Structure 1
Amino acid sequence: MATNDHLDYFKLQLVVIPCGSRKLGSPARSADMYVGSYHRACRNSADALQPDLLLILSARHGLLDLDDVIEPYDTPHGAADAVTSQVLLEQATVRDIVGLDPVVALGGVRHISLVRSVWPHVHTPLAGTRGMGDQMARLAALREGRGMPLT
């Protein structure tokens, strides 16, 4: 969804960030489980946006609060045992967050596709980037308060 709005022009209700393949080796809060640089960059950028609600989209567990304790796992998005859009919609419905707006999703194409299945109006500030370096630069801009156009 293309728009001329910028992140700093309104209060965000929800930011959804991706999990990560690098994890701790023992059970931990989801806020601590994912230790990779990409997840951390998304998390730091999301924190800087100061949303009302920040959730992690886990490839195995779906929507996680930062305090949810989980076991380490090895399930990438798209795998046979990965969370589906139907499960994600059910989780969002139970949480009563389907109608939230605005929603921002930080992450790659598979992550965005799942988020969009619940929130078709989601803003995706990393859309149009041409690789990891480009995404990391855009995440840094978000953290530094340089408003990025929402798409």
Structure 2
Amino acid sequence: MKNIVLISCVSKKLNRKTTAEKIYTSSLFKKNLTYAKSLNPTGIFILSAKHGLLKLTDEIEPYDKTLNKMNVSERKEWSKIVVNQLKSVADLKNDQFTFLAGDKYRKYLLTELEHIIIPMQGLKIGEQLQWLTKQNNK
């Protein structure tokens, strides 16, 4: 069983082309990434509103797109794309998926996956930052 961590993209980005791991600059993303790495997962991927599923090493240009501004049908279509991308790197029924992503990024993915962990479910952004700080300083 693989352990896959999925982190949502954020709006705060560098203004130049670089790897997905480096382009997102918010403290929430950085803390999520640090926590994700501490789990020693099989893989870490970013859920990008523009690109779908990104490897940390994928080179991308800055963009301005978020699921928060998409309607339900657009988010469902985005989720179908991500599910197809996930199928190429994971077994959706047997692998474990840890979500470090908000509800809009995970809602329509959850129905396609069997083994799910959402460690910060229900926490607001400030609470997530506190939780991540505590986890990352253990």
TM-score range for the pair, normalised by the shorter chain length: 0.7 to 0.9
Instruction: Note if contact 2:83-2:109 (Cα within 8 Å) is conserved in structure 1.
Output: no
Q: 2:61 aligns with which of 71, 96, 100?
A: 71
Q: Alignment partner of 1:119: what SS?
A: coil
Instruction: Note if contact 1:89-1:118 (Cα within 8 Å) is conserved in structure 2.
Output: yes
Instruction: Note if contact 1:105-1:124 (Cα within 8 Å) is conserved in structure 2.
Output: yes
Q: 2:130 aligns with which of 137, 142, 147?
A: 137
The farther-off stretch of 110-119 and 14-23 is 110-119
> Which residue is 2:33 aligned to?
43
Instruction: Note if contact 2:94-2:114 (Cα within 8 Å) is conserved in structure 1.
Output: no
Quote the RMSD (CA, aligned, Å): 2.2
> Which residue is 1:103 aligned to?
97
Q: Which has the higher helix share?
A: 2
Superposed CA deviations along residues 101-124 of structure 1, whole A, max 9, x for unmatched, are 321101211122144143253110
Equivalent residue pairs, number: 134
Q: 2:8 aligns with which of 18, 33, 44?
A: 18
Q: Output the CA distance in 1 between the equivalents of 2:46 and 2:16.
A: 18
Superposed CA deviations along residues 91-141 of structure 1, whole A, max 9, x for unmatched, are 112334424432110121112214414325311011122x21111122123
Q: Output the CA distance in 2 between the equivalents of 1:140 and 1:112.
A: 22
- The amino acid of 1:92's aligned partner reads L
Q: TM-score, normalised by structure 1?
A: 0.78
Superposed CA deviations along residues 132-151 of structure 1, whole A, max 9, x for unmatched, are 11111221233234xxxxxx
Instruction: Note if contact 2:100-2:118 (Cα within 8 Å) is conserved in structure 1.
Output: yes
Q: Output the CA distance in 1 between the equivalents of 2:112 and 2:137.
A: 29
